A = this chain, B = another copy of it.
Amino acid sequence: MKRNSRLSLALHTLSHMAFDTEDAQTSADIADHAGTNPVVVRRVLGKLRSAGLLLSERGHSGGWRLARETKHITLADVYDALGESFVAPRGQTDARTCSVAQSLEVQVSQIMKDIEESLVERLSRTTIADIQNSTKREPSHAH
Protein backbone atom coordinates (compact mmCIF):
# COMPACT_ATOMS: atom_id res chain seq x y z
CA MET A 1 0.00 0.00 0.00
CA LYS A 2 1.06 3.53 -0.61
CA ARG A 3 1.43 6.60 1.47
CA ASN A 4 -1.57 7.59 3.49
CA SER A 5 -3.53 4.60 2.35
CA ARG A 6 -6.11 5.04 5.06
CA LEU A 7 -8.33 7.28 3.00
CA SER A 8 -8.22 4.88 0.07
CA LEU A 9 -8.96 1.94 2.33
CA ALA A 10 -11.87 3.71 3.99
CA LEU A 11 -13.46 4.85 0.75
CA HIS A 12 -13.03 1.53 -0.97
CA THR A 13 -14.50 -0.34 1.96
CA LEU A 14 -17.52 1.90 2.20
CA SER A 15 -18.14 1.47 -1.51
CA HIS A 16 -17.74 -2.26 -1.27
CA MET A 17 -20.11 -2.56 1.64
CA ALA A 18 -22.83 -0.79 -0.25
CA PHE A 19 -23.13 -3.80 -2.56
CA ASP A 20 -24.38 -5.95 0.30
CA THR A 21 -26.10 -3.99 3.03
CA GLU A 22 -27.82 -7.13 4.29
CA ASP A 23 -25.00 -9.04 5.94
CA ALA A 24 -22.37 -7.64 8.26
CA GLN A 25 -18.86 -7.91 6.87
CA THR A 26 -16.01 -9.12 9.02
CA SER A 27 -12.71 -7.30 9.16
CA ALA A 28 -11.13 -10.45 7.75
CA ASP A 29 -13.31 -10.32 4.65
CA ILE A 30 -12.70 -6.63 4.19
CA ALA A 31 -8.96 -7.04 4.69
CA ASP A 32 -9.01 -9.75 2.10
CA HIS A 33 -10.74 -7.76 -0.59
CA ALA A 34 -8.66 -4.69 0.18
CA GLY A 35 -5.40 -6.59 0.21
CA THR A 36 -4.40 -5.73 3.72
CA ASN A 37 -4.65 -6.93 7.31
CA PRO A 38 -7.75 -7.28 9.55
CA VAL A 39 -6.19 -5.20 12.31
CA VAL A 40 -5.45 -2.39 9.91
CA VAL A 41 -9.05 -2.54 8.78
CA ARG A 42 -10.35 -2.39 12.32
CA ARG A 43 -8.10 0.56 13.07
CA VAL A 44 -9.32 2.58 10.13
CA LEU A 45 -12.96 1.57 10.30
CA GLY A 46 -12.94 2.26 14.01
CA LYS A 47 -12.53 5.93 13.20
CA LEU A 48 -15.43 5.78 10.82
CA ARG A 49 -17.52 4.22 13.56
CA SER A 50 -16.55 7.00 15.96
CA ALA A 51 -17.74 9.45 13.35
CA GLY A 52 -21.05 7.62 13.03
CA LEU A 53 -20.54 6.34 9.50
CA LEU A 54 -20.35 2.68 10.41
CA LEU A 55 -21.62 0.31 13.06
CA SER A 56 -19.74 -2.70 14.37
CA GLU A 57 -20.94 -5.71 16.29
CA ARG A 58 -18.85 -8.10 18.29
CA GLY A 59 -19.22 -11.80 18.65
CA HIS A 60 -20.68 -14.47 16.48
CA SER A 61 -22.01 -13.22 13.12
CA GLY A 62 -20.81 -9.77 14.03
CA GLY A 63 -18.94 -7.41 11.77
CA TRP A 64 -19.40 -4.05 10.11
CA ARG A 65 -22.43 -2.33 8.63
CA LEU A 66 -23.16 1.01 7.10
CA ALA A 67 -24.75 3.39 9.59
CA ARG A 68 -26.52 5.17 6.75
CA GLU A 69 -26.92 5.01 3.01
CA THR A 70 -23.90 5.76 0.86
CA LYS A 71 -26.04 8.40 -0.78
CA HIS A 72 -25.65 10.34 2.45
CA ILE A 73 -21.94 9.79 3.05
CA THR A 74 -19.68 12.32 1.39
CA LEU A 75 -15.97 12.06 0.83
CA ALA A 76 -15.60 14.93 3.27
CA ASP A 77 -17.34 12.91 5.97
CA VAL A 78 -14.72 10.21 5.53
CA TYR A 79 -11.83 12.64 5.37
CA ASP A 80 -12.99 14.33 8.56
CA ALA A 81 -13.60 11.02 10.28
CA LEU A 82 -9.99 10.02 9.69
CA GLY A 83 -8.80 13.26 11.25
CA GLU A 84 -6.43 13.92 8.40
CA SER A 85 -5.26 17.38 7.54
CA PHE A 86 -2.93 19.09 5.13
CA VAL A 87 -2.46 21.88 7.58
CA ALA A 88 0.56 20.90 9.61
CA PRO A 89 -0.48 20.20 13.18
CA ARG A 90 1.05 23.49 14.25
CA GLY A 91 3.15 23.03 17.34
CA GLN A 92 3.43 25.92 19.75
CA THR A 93 4.50 29.02 17.86
CA ASP A 94 7.97 29.11 19.36
CA ALA A 95 7.98 32.56 20.91
CA ARG A 96 11.71 33.06 20.47
CA THR A 97 11.70 33.14 16.65
CA CYS A 98 12.13 36.47 14.92
CA SER A 99 9.19 38.59 13.84
CA VAL A 100 9.73 37.83 10.17
CA ALA A 101 9.50 34.11 10.83
CA GLN A 102 6.36 34.64 12.85
CA SER A 103 4.81 36.65 10.08
CA LEU A 104 5.69 33.89 7.64
CA GLU A 105 4.15 31.30 9.88
CA VAL A 106 0.93 33.27 10.21
CA GLN A 107 0.55 33.95 6.52
CA VAL A 108 1.43 30.48 5.31
CA SER A 109 -0.83 28.93 7.94
CA GLN A 110 -3.69 31.08 6.80
CA ILE A 111 -3.22 30.00 3.21
CA MET A 112 -3.06 26.36 4.26
CA LYS A 113 -6.19 26.73 6.30
CA ASP A 114 -8.03 28.27 3.36
CA ILE A 115 -6.87 25.50 1.07
CA GLU A 116 -7.89 22.86 3.56
CA GLU A 117 -11.32 24.41 3.73
CA SER A 118 -11.53 24.47 -0.02
CA LEU A 119 -10.52 20.81 -0.17
CA VAL A 120 -13.21 19.78 2.29
CA GLU A 121 -15.75 21.75 0.35
CA ARG A 122 -14.77 19.92 -2.82
CA LEU A 123 -14.91 16.56 -1.07
CA SER A 124 -18.33 17.29 0.37
CA ARG A 125 -19.75 17.54 -3.12
CA THR A 126 -19.21 13.85 -3.86
CA THR A 127 -20.88 10.95 -2.10
CA ILE A 128 -19.86 7.32 -1.97
CA ALA A 129 -22.91 6.55 -4.06
CA ASP A 130 -21.68 8.97 -6.72
CA ILE A 131 -18.48 6.96 -7.03
CA GLN A 132 -20.41 3.77 -7.63
CA ASN A 133 -22.66 5.38 -10.16
CA SER A 134 -19.68 6.60 -12.12
CA THR A 135 -18.39 3.03 -12.33
CA LYS A 136 -19.32 0.67 -15.10
CA ARG A 137 -21.96 -1.85 -14.07
CA GLU A 138 -20.79 -5.24 -12.82
CA PRO A 139 -17.23 -4.75 -11.73
CA SER A 140 -14.85 -7.63 -12.29
CA HIS A 141 -15.09 -9.02 -8.78
CA ALA A 142 -18.03 -10.89 -7.32
CA HIS A 143 -20.45 -9.10 -5.04
Closest to A5 in B: B88
Q: Is the CB of A100 within 8 A of B12?
A: yes
Chain A 104-143 interface 0/1 with B at a Cβ cutoff of 8 Å (1 = within): 1101100100110011001100100001101110011100
> Size band of the A side of the interface?
35 or more
User: Does A82 count as interface, using CB distance less than 8 angstroms?
Assistant: no
Choice from B3, B15, B115, B132 contacting A122 with Cβ under 8 Å = B115
With contact pairs A88-B2, A135-B99, A140-B98 given, residues A115 and B119 touching in the complex (Cβ less than 8 Å): yes
How many copies are assembled? 2
Structural contact, B141 and A12, CB atoms closer than 8 A: no
* Contact A4–B122 (Cβ < 8 Å): no
A75: chain B residues within 8 A (beta carbon): 108, 111
A3-B88, A103-B131, A107-B126 are known; give 9 further A-B pairs, CB within 8 A.
A11-B104, A12-B100, A99-B135, A100-B139, A103-B132, A107-B131, A107-B134, A111-B126, A115-B119
